[in-house]
Amino acid sequence: MLLQFNLPIPIPIPCFPTSSLIDMGSFQLSRALLGSRRNWVVRSQASLTRFCSSGVIKGVSDTSSPSVHESPSASASEHAVANASEAILKSRTWNEHQLTADQLQFRSLASDFAENELMPFAAQWDEQKHFPVEVLRKAAGLGFGGLYCGHDVGGSGLSRADGAVIFEALAYADVSTTAYLTIHNMCASLIERYGTEDQRQDFLRELTSMDLLASYCLTEPNSGSDAASLQTTARRQAGSTDYILNGEKAFISGGGAADVYLVMARTGEAGPKGISCFYVDKDSKGLSFGRQEDKLGWRSQPTSSVILDDVRVPERCLIGKEGEGFTIAMSALDGGRINIATCSVGGAQFCVDAAQGYVSTRKQVNVWQSHH
């Protein structure tokens, strides 16, 4: 995915892991940030070989920087890199993986929002452990609160690839806040896909607007990567259709601040087939939260344990059928992993750009560091 700036030097950026895309003609940053045009082109071409094996590269456009071949100061090794890169470009067909016109618009919208609403405040939010709920609701006003939900419930009806474009652009400014937004979207999309029509209409409108915030509750103190061994239970109360939930969830993003918790609990046998999914309201009696985790980063989103002590949940809040919870949870994570990967790419690109900016202004032994 690419973030758009109207400045003079093209820069390649890898996409999320399922495909890598480099567009040296449309992504621009200033010469002051990146230093030498020729050196950056050489580094860009060298980077092509790192991404081409599993992804996609878009050819250099007519507006790209001058070729290394045209530079009289380019070394033999630089020419070799350029020749290899051009061979790679010519050996593949990339067009099917280029961004669509709609995706370019999504990226532009997300980048503008990130620049104005996230970037100026991200460091302060992290330092103060501030959860920017009102800013998240502004994002929802642009359609970012229900990216994968239907229009009839206030969603945007977008694809996973569309969402990846948006999340990468947002994460360039603030990985922590964007990561929570991906989790909220994962919860909403779970209900969109597996909930009944009544549940969609009852639950999703307040989630897509982010009037209500959602958290995903799968991990437990003794159940991490082995999610099928979770111990939280959901038992039918005698003489009632309600479920009674008991257990503890760990490291829950949004814990204590979110309004809704999608909880995976055991309704039947051991293993994955005995797990079900429940929509639990924050105000439910018996629901409480542990202390906020003291993290090295990502402090603009709260993280805590979620404790369920005889929490009564009505049958209408069972998402899907009994025994489908593990399938639902893994399906949600399939998309969630793509989302969080794009956040990582966005944050990593910011780090690369910041490092380039630093070395372009630093000289040692009368040599600019960006020339190394």
Give the pLDDT confidence of 200-253 residue by residue, as tens digits. Answer: 999 999 999 999 999 999 999 999 888 999 999 999 988 899 999 999 999 999
Average pLDDT value for residue range 22-50? 28
| Helix pair angle (325-359, 175-194), 10° resolution | 160
**Other Cβ atoms closer than 10 A to 207:** 27
Looking at residue 8, its pLDDT comes to 30
Residue % of the chain over a pLDDT of 90: 67
Looking at residue 96, its pLDDT comes to 53
DSSP string, 28-51: EE-HHHH--HHHHHHHHHHHHHHH
Please give the torsion angle defined by the CA atoms of residues 232, 235, 237 and 239, in that order, rounded to the nearest 10 degrees.
170
Alpha carbons 16 and 171: distance in angstroms, whole number: 12
What are 71's two structure tokens?
A: 């530079």
**83, HSE (Cβ side, Cα atoms, 13 Å):** 7
Amino acid sitting at position 164: A
Residue % of the chain over a pLDDT of 70: 73
Query: 102-211+333-344 domain in CATH 1.10.540.10?
Result: yes
Looking at residue 1, its pLDDT comes to 37
Which of 289, 259, 274 is closest to 323 using CA atoms? Answer: 274
Looking at residue 368, its pLDDT comes to 77
* Sole residue written with tokens 């829950």: 252
Query: Helices (H) and strands (E) in the chain — how many of each?
Result: 10, 12
**Other Cβ atoms closer than 10 A to 222:** 11
Do 102-211+333-344 and 214-324 show the same overall fold?
A: no
pLDDT tens digits for range 53-63: 333 222 333 33
pLDDT tens digits for range 316-363: 999 999 999 999 999 999 999 999 999 999 999 999 999 988 888 887
**142, HSE (Cβ side, Cα atoms, 13 Å):** 20
Q: Domain-by-domain residue ranges, the chain?
A: 9-98, 102-211+333-344, 214-324
The overall average pLDDT reported for the chain is 80
Alpha carbons 219 and 252: distance in angstroms, whole number: 8
CATH number for the domain whose boundaries are 214-324? 2.40.110.10
- Whether the predicted pLDDT of 195 surpasses 60: yes
- Whether the predicted pLDDT of 26 surpasses 70: no
Q: How far is CA 256 from CA 76, 287, 300, 304, 311, in A?
A: 60, 10, 13, 7, 16
**Quick one: pLDDT band at residue 284, thresholds 50, 70, 90?**
very high
The whole-model pTM stands at 0.74
The residue ranking higher by pLDDT, 3 or 316, is: 316
